[in-house]
Amino acid sequence: MERRADRRPTLRPASRVRRQRALPVENDAPEPREPGEIGVYVRSFHHGESFGVDPEGIDLGGDDIAGYHGDGRGFSTDREDTARIRAGVVFREGEGGFQAARAGGRSDESGNDLLRFLHPGQYPNETGVPEVEATARQPGGEVTLRYAGSMPLHPSFDIDVDARMRVERTGERTIRVTLAAAGDGFPNAEAFARDHAGNAVFLGVHQLQEGQIAADLAGEAETPMFSASLQIHTREDGTFEAVEFGGERYTLEEWNARFEEMEPVGEGAS
């Protein structure tokens, strides 16, 4: 092959060159600790107390034997509420705007009552450690957060979620949080942002639809779950004050109530 010494490589303008870096991953969803930090979170949970078999359980002489442990709740931003998997990214504002600083995730304790009944001593409750990956694009600040997890000692499919997120400064006291998530479509899911004082704003939720079951976890995580681009008004200290969406302004309580009042599941889902 002819080699021409006078041929120079063609480079894209520096402003268009995008690098990627893997974020350090902690064994929990990290929290914003100081002004200028914003946390963005995605949680997979199940609305029922259990799932995987008849939701009424199997009556064995007075004992109701159910399936995998659920979370028994609706949509929430409360950090104390359990989830099958929770993960998040903390963004920190600097001279170049908001950049991802750290990421992490964990699973809450779970188990399967039916397996434990059928095989005593073999299926204790456990706290799984999900696989969490977070990659930041620079410049631009967009982060791809992926998690997958199942219970190591229990036969089960992975819960998979793939989310893209960004935090941008849009004004002296406004920021925009953008997020889009896809996954297995099972179980329920929710996403929200939180400031360093603990104030939270819903970004989106995923309701189960009629007929969805745990077997939907098999296969690729390609089902669109939710997407949002919200402008959040902040106070002088950087804490959240209000949400602007569709030309309307909402208090945090008004905005979050729209999601907290939603049913987590449609008729017939299990």
Spatial separation of the C-alpha atoms in residues 87 and 134, rounded to whole Å: 10
How many of the other CB atoms lie within 10 Å of CB of 242?
Answer: 17
What is the predicted pLDDT for the residue at 270? Answer: 40
What is the predicted pLDDT for the residue at 130? Answer: 66
In a domain, 13, yes or no: no
Mean pLDDT, rounded, for 109-114: 66
In a domain, 3, yes or no: no
In a domain, 112, yes or no: yes
What is the predicted pLDDT for the residue at 40? Answer: 97
Which tops the pLDDT comparison, 180 or 112? 180
What is the predicted pLDDT for the residue at 206? Answer: 92
In a domain, 17, yes or no: no
Buried b (16+ CB within 10 A) or exposed e, 64-78: ebbbbbbbebbbbbe
In a domain, 269, yes or no: no
What is the predicted pLDDT for the residue at 221? Answer: 61
Mean pLDDT, rounded, for 13-17: 39
Query: Which residue shows structure tokens 């939710």?
Result: 226
Mean pLDDT, rounded, for 34-41: 96
Burial of residue 269 (CB within 10 Å: 0-12, 13-18, 19+) is buried
List the domain range (segments joined by +) for residue 30. Answer: 22-260
User: Do 217 and 159 touch, CB atoms closer than 8 A?
Assistant: yes
Which tops the pLDDT comparison, 209 or 132? 132
| 10, pLDDT greater than 50 | no
User: Do 57 and 66 touch, CB atoms closer than 8 A?
Assistant: yes
User: Do 46 and 67 touch, CB atoms closer than 8 A?
Assistant: no
In a domain, 104, yes or no: yes
Which tops the pLDDT comparison, 8 or 106? 106
Mean pLDDT, rounded, for 83-104: 92
User: Do 221 and 160 touch, CB atoms closer than 8 A?
Assistant: yes
What is the number of domains present in the chain? 1
In a domain, 265, yes or no: no
In a domain, 58, yes or no: yes
